[in-house]
Amino acid sequence: MLLREVGYARPGSLGEAIQLLAADDGARALAGGQTLVNVMKARAGSPDALIDLGRIEELRGIELGADGTLEIGAMTTYTELVESSEARARPILGEVCAQIADVQVRNRGTIGGNICTSDPTNHLPPLLAALGAEMTIQGGNGVRTVAASDFFLGVYMTAVGPGELLTKIRIPAGRNDGFAAVTLGIDGTCIVSAAATHNGGLTLAIGCVDAVPVVLRPASADDDAVRAAVQDANLDPPSDVHASSEYRRHLAGVLAVRAAHQAQGSS
């Protein structure tokens, strides 16, 4: 398919990329392109210019700190996360990335692209919200960090502003995590998803029931408490061709319990 005419630049450094993005309101960052290229084909978006982040070393790599904290470059692909020995410090990351789409998409798609898209049907927004990830955003005015709970602002909207880039994702140490989803076909996009982490108390994040992941902290990790927390959240999910609002609400409770079980090692 022939795309609309578009400019292209492939900066070699983060500073240069930020400058290029700041110089043109119509410029968009191109990460793995597994969403953006299709959006452009569908004419759902027509950036004036693509700033290709593919050759910026500063955006790559997975580092495991002495305290178990993971620092993941925004341009790290799903496949790299699946294969990384460092990422096994938080096994759920590789486990969920291995469920995204197919080999080809996992080889190109990136963690940064997945969350910056802020598509409610994506796997990683609820997972990173549950894990308490922290995002580092860099722009012309410097560097700031944003908690996952403040990162997702709406459908296709995040805290990354014009002329800024998500550079890395910091995930605190921890182990007891879970993820459950009902998807469109195996490894497809989510109809409803739930992520859980049980480090101290239980934290849940439900995806596809609102514009952004809904974070819940049940009174306890018991099934009844998890169901009650989902019930009390008064979710009002959208209806579409795949599921009614009522069915999504039902799935939220079922998947929250499944994710909580996995987080407690009893799935």
Partner 1 sequence: MVSTEQRISVTINGTTYEREVEARKLLIHFIRDDLDLTGSHIGCDTGNCGACSVILDGRLVKSCMLLAVQADGSAVETVEGLADGDELSKLQQSFKDHHALQCGYCTPGMLMSATALLRANPHPSEDEIKKGLQGNICRCTGYWNIFEAVKAASE
Q: Which residues bind partner 1 (CB under 8 A)?
A: 1-10, 20, 24, 27, 30, 33-34, 37-38, 41, 49-52, 54, 79, 101-105, 107-108, 186-187
Please report how close the Cβ of residue 55 comes to partner 1 at its closest, in angstroms. 9
Q: What is the DSSP letter of 12?
A: S
Sign of CA dihedral 201, 215, 223, 190: negative
The two tokens of residue 158 are: 């995040």
Please report how close the Cβ of residue 203 comes to partner 1 at its closest, in angstroms. 30
Please report how close the Cβ of residue 207 comes to partner 1 at its closest, in angstroms. 22
Closest to partner 1 by CB, 66 vs 186, is 186
Closest to partner 1 by CB, 42 vs 66, is 42
CB-CB contact of 23 with 7 (8 Å)? no
Closest to partner 1 by CB, 79 vs 197, is 79
Please report how close the Cβ of residue 133 comes to partner 1 at its closest, in angstroms. 26
Closest to partner 1 by CB, 165 vs 209, is 165
Please report how close the Cβ of residue 69 comes to partner 1 at its closest, in angstroms. 28
The C-alpha atoms of residue 119 and residue 82 are separated, in whole angstroms, by 21
Amino acid code (one letter) for 242: H
Please report how close the Cβ of residue 14 comes to partner 1 at its closest, in angstroms. 17
Please give the C-alpha separations between residue 68 and each of 21, 59, 79, 88, 90, in angstroms, as whole numbers: 34, 20, 21, 10, 9
Closest to partner 1 by CB, 113 vs 174, is 113
CA Rg, the chain, in Å?
18
Sorted by sequence, the CB contacts under 8 Å of residue 170 that are 6+ apart come out as 69, 70, 71, 72, 133, 134, 135, 136, 145
Closest to partner 1 by CB, 34 vs 197, is 34
